[in-house]
Chain A
């Protein structure tokens, strides 16, 4: 996860990326789900650096969406 977790600013970048895809995208952490296009829901997950999360997408561009988001997170992790 990005340094600050899915906080307001990193979350905003995450949301921006997610919104580029038409698929519906869900982020799962500890069994709780959040709409990846909603910064508020994402932040309620309280994900921090190092936390395991799952990204699930469903729709026409589902694969591209997951790829892009995973890439974004791994890049921020460095």
Chain B
């Protein structure tokens, strides 16, 4: 660890990913990529290193057991079982004996733990059985925690958060944010990420401030006790002095005031001054977000992502399980439209039971509709579930990643097939409007032809920006090229709207751009009639629309 002056303020400058300000205690989430502080040791350090490892394993075991117990207390038996398994991994006698051997060969304790963990993790990753292959992550997780403990950065578990805190991390994956107990995250500060990374989207969804992409400066803030975050400015201060605290608290109040001023807009309809109806809807990542969306005044769901049903599990979800989820959303929104997007997963995320080859460019790979069309056992149950759920509400569906008319027609054909099957089976189904996402430049360029085949377009600006400008969404150095407010992207959007108007179909926008105050006027001017966004942006978007 070395000497550290913990009282000195550390400034962190990044991207303002979610508005709001907060001052709160620091909670460090251990980074996944951990580098040993020392690689080797001298002969006379061996004894002490062995003792340190033993202590670290004990400490990690205790933390893991405590988390398991707490989960069990609240009735979450399934997750508790995962922690039991992690406890066993931490205490694995082979792990400690292999680590011991390395330490005796003068490797530092943390390097030994990380190397042995990595060796096993890779051994698992190479295994044929997909479930076992994924267990490499368990091993990595546990050994990283032991190594972090050795380096004096207590591996705190997100589940263990008991005091509402600001979470500092290298990055936060969906599995990380899902583990945070409700109400325990006051804000996020991460070294990696951009406005559209998962952590940013989550922060906006939760209505808490986030500063992402602060880079290596984060390391200097890990020892701090308090941090002040301004998610609007993209600025945070660890160990803030009293003046800074006061300043950020004033900001916090101002944000709260603005929110309460926008309160009335939660309950009004999205409409421009000249009376044009603009539907202001929510993007949903799971059925758990339905209530939250309604409470922010969502007039429907412009994008219901279905990936949550497929992630982190051992088998594909059944048609009935999917039906249940779609029905719940449809029912909750009643007359209001809910647009379900069929599965959009690629090589960057694992699907149970699907053989996904490793790809160099998952975002340009076998994903979205491309995968769905190739794997009927994935696609058909989803379409059938959507058709059935449409019987209870106003469901629409759309296909992601369409690049040409052949894909669209093939998808519609399978949909028709499902419809016929269900009718033959005597199942209750409802009418479903069919649309497509415009997120590839190819789709935007061919909008005229594609418009004749669908009832609506939904422009996915996040991907459209990334593909149009050839700029990776997660690359911090490309910030300038990560906004839809770029002439090339705007041209595509305008052209898509024109083509839609000619054919008589409507256009929605469901990317980040839909909730950006400076872009809303442009989108509405182009002819967009539905804006779908993360829920906290809804009241403000309605207000902006009402002033147009």
For B92, the chain A residues whose CB sits under 8 A away are 38-41
Across the interface, do A7 and B131 meet the contact criterion of CB distance under 8 Å? Answer: yes
Q: Tally chain B residues at the interface, Cβ within 8 Å.
A: 23
- Secondary structure class of chain B's binding surface, majority of residues: helix
- Secondary structure class of chain A's binding surface, majority of residues: helix
Closest Cβ–Cβ distance, residue A20 to chain B (whole Å): 13
Across the interface, do B129 and A38 meet the contact criterion of CB distance under 8 Å? Answer: no
Known A38-B93, A39-B89, A40-B139; judge A5-B120 contact (CB<8 A).
no
A54 within 8 A of B: no
Query: Which of B87, B93, B135 touches A7 (beta carbons < 8 Å)?
Result: B135
Known A12-B84, A44-B124; judge A38-B131 contact (CB<8 A).
no
For A7, the chain B residues whose CB sits under 8 A away are 131-132, 135
Q: Tally chain A residues at the interface, Cβ within 8 Å.
A: 19
For B120, the chain A residues whose CB sits under 8 A away are 40, 44
Known A39-B92, A40-B120; judge A9-B132 contact (CB<8 A).
no
A35 within 8 A of B: yes
Known A4-B314, A5-B129, A43-B132; judge A11-B94 contact (CB<8 A).
no
Q: In the assembly, what is the distance between CA of A62 and CA of B88, in Å?
A: 22
Query: Which of A4, A11, A16, A37 touches B93 (beta carbons < 8 Å)?
Result: A37
For residue A16, which residue of chain B has the nearest CB? Answer: B88
A15 within 8 A of B: yes
A46 within 8 A of B: yes
Across the interface, do A38 and B135 meet the contact criterion of CB distance under 8 Å? Answer: no
For residue B98, which residue of chain A has the nearest CB? Answer: A40
B294 within 8 A of A: no
What are 24 contact pairs spanning A and B, CB under 8 A? A4-B131, A5-B132, A7-B132, A8-B89, A8-B135, A9-B82, A9-B84, A11-B85, A12-B81, A15-B88, A16-B84, A16-B88, A35-B93, A35-B94, A37-B93, A38-B95, A40-B120, A41-B92, A43-B132, A44-B124, A46-B128, A46-B129, A46-B132, A48-B129
Chain B contacts to A: CB under 8 angstroms: 81-82, 84-85, 87-89, 92-95, 120, 123-124, 127-129, 131-132, 135, 138-139, 314
Instruction: Identify the 8 closest CB pairs spanning chains A and B, nearest first.
Output: A12-B85, A38-B94, A8-B85, A12-B88, A39-B88, A38-B92, A15-B88, A8-B135
